């Protein structure tokens, strides 16, 4: 399993052909909340990919930039871009020191990537990372058969995680794959 990164919750849900990723806005240094309205989820690849991070913010921005380069090199091929980033992340001296996890998804695939070489595509297409990730994922799985749409499941599940995880707050960024911003 990827290392347990504290300080956020990122969740991605697929339902009825929709892919939605959301994250909370809390930035924590040790046991101190430094910021409550950070944006940790964004679209990449011209709106064809959603990505979120958990861990050190500066490290995550570096990884977003590197991943965007891979998406440009391998357009419309998220699996190949993810594999290439994972290889670079593990083997590059500078990159392998970065302390973050990435969750990335397109219409067909979703992956969790880490600097220790993990590249995991969950069986059910739902992804969660960060200290509240397991709580949000459990809630999302329980809500999957509910009348809620993908966005509703993400919002409700992140709220449940915020009730449990002290490193997660209720200021959410929720992005649907392909929606204009």
Q: Which residues are catalytic?
A: 8
First-residue to last-residue Cα distance in the chain: 33
Continuous H helices in 22-132: 57-73, 78-91
Rounded CA separation 97/28 (Å): 19
- Among candidate residues 173, 161, 172, 156, the one with its CA nearest the CA of residue 6: 161
Rounded CA separation 22/108 (Å): 18
Most distant CA pair in the chain, distance: 47
């Amino acid at each position: 399993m990827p290392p347990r990164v504290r300080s956020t919750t990122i969740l991605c849900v697929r339902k009825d052909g929709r892919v939605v990723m959301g994250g909370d806005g809390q930035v924590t240094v040790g046991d101190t909340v430094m910021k409550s309205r950070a944006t940790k989820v964004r679209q990449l690849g011209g709106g064809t990919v959603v990505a979120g991070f958990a861990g050190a913010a500066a490290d995550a921005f570096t990884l977003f930039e590197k991943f965007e380069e891979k998406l440009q090199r391998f357009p419309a091929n998220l699996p190949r871009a993810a594999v290439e980033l994972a290889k670079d992340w593990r083997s590059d001296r500078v990159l392998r020191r970065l302390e973050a996890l990435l969750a990335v998804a397109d219409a067909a695939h979703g992956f969790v990537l880490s600097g220790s070489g993990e590249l995991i595509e969950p069986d059910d297409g739902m992804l969660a990372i960060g200290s509240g990730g397991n709580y949000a994922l459990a809630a999302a799985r329980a809500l999957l058969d509910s009348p809620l749409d993908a966005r509703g499941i993400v919002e409700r599940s992140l709220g449940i995680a915020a009730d449990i995880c002290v490193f997660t707050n209720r200021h959410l960024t929720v992005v649907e794959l392909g929606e204009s911003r």
